């Protein structure tokens, strides 16, 4: 009995060590991320609907989404190198402040009926350019806010919280906010950025000590080092290739989902919002178990299975002309997507040197997210040429290739280099 009690106590301690404390840095960082995601979700859901009122050309609607990913190809590596050199907390609140002012100005333009497709593209491009610094700084800052044993749980809580407000608060609220005024979702987004900036600025947890850059070190040299570390790690290299292929398909699906729902399914804006919420439902449910799945089954193996399962709902979305099929498919797709994302981010943080997380994250995101505009552009062309359901089938084919790309990495040792 004594041994059993001791074992139970040890298990409880180990479980506590794997959970980040809500007090201090993580609580504020989590709150800022949740608030910003709420505003982002309002804008992301409203922007395609606004685009469809300005043009009926699928390629132009898809290009609005493409412009929201293109900066990762152009500036993603620079953002990671800068994130490793600067105070990450200051970089994050400064970026949020600028983004709040930009989206606030856009809300004014929408309110006075001055929005154009070109303006939507410029806004999406500019916001993502700033995001390349913000996201890489956030990825590098998290391991300094929580211990290494709590990274998986912290990532799961961040992503689950973000998906909760996105799916159950923000996205369902979009039709109501649009009824109150076409510019209201964007004004709310501006307010959330400013509030997020204030929370991050109040964060007092000091980042871990980082090695000082070598004398004469340039951004180009820092970027090259991050790319080399990523390339030499067989697991991260395979995971990056797989994520890149996935994001080509996901980019196309996201860019044309509003057309798939309103055109191919002949449904309205409310059903489109429900589709986004369905994806969120699956993601939120997975958020409570994604880290546990990764610990028990192995993070890389969990990612492989998640990618394999995601092929099925994509095929259903592209072949079954039913709102219910799409809703159910997006629930499953969202569940497996969360399992993939939580374990991917945690694995990358665990396998990266502390002083190079920003650069490795940037190299990873530049390749994987940088492929998304290609997917959006291809999906726009495919939807125009072969039908509005084609992007989902294209995404399924790319997920098959993605799963195949992970097979060599599965044969590698999973211990950190």
CA–CA gap between residue 389 and residue 407 (Å, rounded): 29
* Token pair listed for 286: 């997975």
Coil/strand/helix, residue 291: helix
Q: Which residues contact 50 (CB under 8 A, 6 or more apart)?
A: 110, 115, 120, 182
Sequence-distant (6+) residues with CB within 8 A of 105 are none
* Residue pair 132/252 in contact by the 8 Å Cβ criterion: no
Rounded percentage of the chain residues whose pLDDT exceeds 70? 89
- Model pLDDT, residue 197: 92
pLDDT of residue 6: 37
The answer to whether the CB of 388 falls within 8 A of the CB of 259 is yes
Q: Specify the pLDDT at position 205.
A: 54
- Secondary structure E strands in 11-55: none
Would you mind telling me the total number of residues written for the chain in this entry?
Answer: 417
pLDDT of residue 17: 43
As a whole number of angstroms, the distance between CA 282 and CA 300 comes to 20
Which structural domains are found in the chain, ordered by start?
A: 22-205+219-410 (1.20.1250.20)
CA atoms within 13 A on the CB side of 271: 19
For residue 356, the 8-state DSSP code is: G
CA distance 189 to 392: 29
Spatial CB neighbours of 217, under 8 Å, sequence gap ≥ 6: none
Q: 5: how many CB neighbours lie within 10 A of its CB?
A: 9
DSSP state of 354: G
Residue 77 CA to residue 75 CA, distance in Å, equals 6
Q: How far is CA 390 from CA 48, 49, 242, 249, 259, in A?
A: 19, 20, 21, 11, 11
pLDDT of residue 131: 83
Q: What is the pLDDT along the chain (417 residues), one digit of tens a residue?
A: 434 443 443 344 344 446 676 666 788 888 888 888 888 888 877 888 888 888 888 778 878 877 877 787 778 778 777 877 778 888 889 999 999 999 999 999 999 999 999 999 999 899 988 888 888 788 778 877 887 777 788 888 888 887 788 777 887 788 888 888 889 999 999 999 999 999 988 877 554 445 445 444 676 777 787 788 888 888 888 998 999 999 899 888 888 888 889 889 988 878 887 888 888 889 889 888 888 899 888 889 999 999 999 999 999 999 999 999 999 999 999 999 999 998 998 888 888 877 777 788 778 877 777 777 788 888 888 888 898 899 999 999 999 999 999 998 887 665 555
Phi and psi (nearest 5°) for 233?
Answer: -85, 110
What DSSP line would sit under 132-189, residue for residue? HHHHHHHHHHHHHHS-GGGHHHHHHHHHHHHHHHIIIIIHHHHHHHHHH-TTHHHHHH
| Per-residue model confidence (pLDDT) at position 13 | 38
């Amino acid at each position: 009995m004594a041994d059993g009690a001791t074992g139970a106590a040890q298990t409880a301690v180990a479980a506590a060590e794997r959970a980040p404390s809500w007090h201090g840095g993580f609580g504020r960082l989590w709150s800022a991320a949740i608030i910003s995601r709420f505003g982002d979700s309002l804008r992301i859901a409203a922007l395609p609907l606004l685009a469809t009122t300005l043009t009926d050309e699928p390629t132009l609607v898809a290009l609005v989404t493409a412009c929201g990913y293109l900066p990762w190809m152009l500036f993603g590596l620079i953002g990671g190198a800068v994130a490793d050199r600067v105070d990450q907390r200051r970089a994050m609140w400064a970026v949020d402040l600028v983004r709040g002012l930009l989206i606030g100005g856009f809300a004014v333009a929408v309110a006075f009926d001055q929005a154009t497709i070109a303006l939507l593209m410029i806004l999406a491009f500019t916001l993502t350019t700033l995001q390349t610094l913000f996201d890489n700084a956030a990825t590098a800052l998290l391991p300094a806010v929580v211990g290494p044993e709590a990274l998986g749980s912290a990532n799961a809580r961040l992503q689950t919280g973000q998906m909760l407000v996105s799916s159950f608060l923000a996205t369902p609220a979009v039709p109501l906010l649009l009824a109150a005024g076409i510019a209201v979702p964007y004004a709310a987004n501006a307010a959330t950025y400013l509030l997020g900036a204030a929370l991050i600025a109040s964060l007092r947890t000091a980042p871990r000590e980082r090695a000082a850059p070598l004398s004469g070190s340039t951004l180009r040299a820092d970027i090259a080092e991050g790319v080399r570390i990523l390339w030499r790690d067989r697991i991260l290299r395979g995971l990056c290739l797989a994520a890149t292929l996935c994001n080509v398909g996901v980019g196309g699906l996201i860019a044309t989902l509003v057309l798939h729902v309103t055109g191919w399914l002949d449904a309205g804006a409310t059903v489109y919002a429900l589709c986004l919420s369905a994806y969120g439902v699956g993601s939120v449910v997975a958020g409570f178990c994604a880290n546990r799945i990764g610990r028990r089954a192995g993070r890389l193996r969990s990612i492989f299975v998640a990618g394999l399962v995601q092929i099925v709902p994509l095929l259903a979305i592209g072949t079954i002309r039913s709102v219910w099929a799409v809703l159910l498919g997006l629930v499953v797709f969202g569940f497996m997507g969360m399992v993939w994302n939580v374990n991917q981010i945690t694995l990358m943080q665990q396998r990266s040197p502390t002083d190079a997380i920003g650069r490795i994250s940037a190299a990873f995101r530049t390749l994987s997210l940088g492929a998304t505009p290609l997917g959006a552009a291809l999906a726009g062309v495919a939807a125009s040429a072969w039908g509005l359901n084609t992007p989902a089938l294209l995404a399924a084919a790319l997920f098959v290739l993605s799963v195949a790309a992970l097979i060599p990495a599965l044969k590698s040792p999973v211990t950190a280099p």
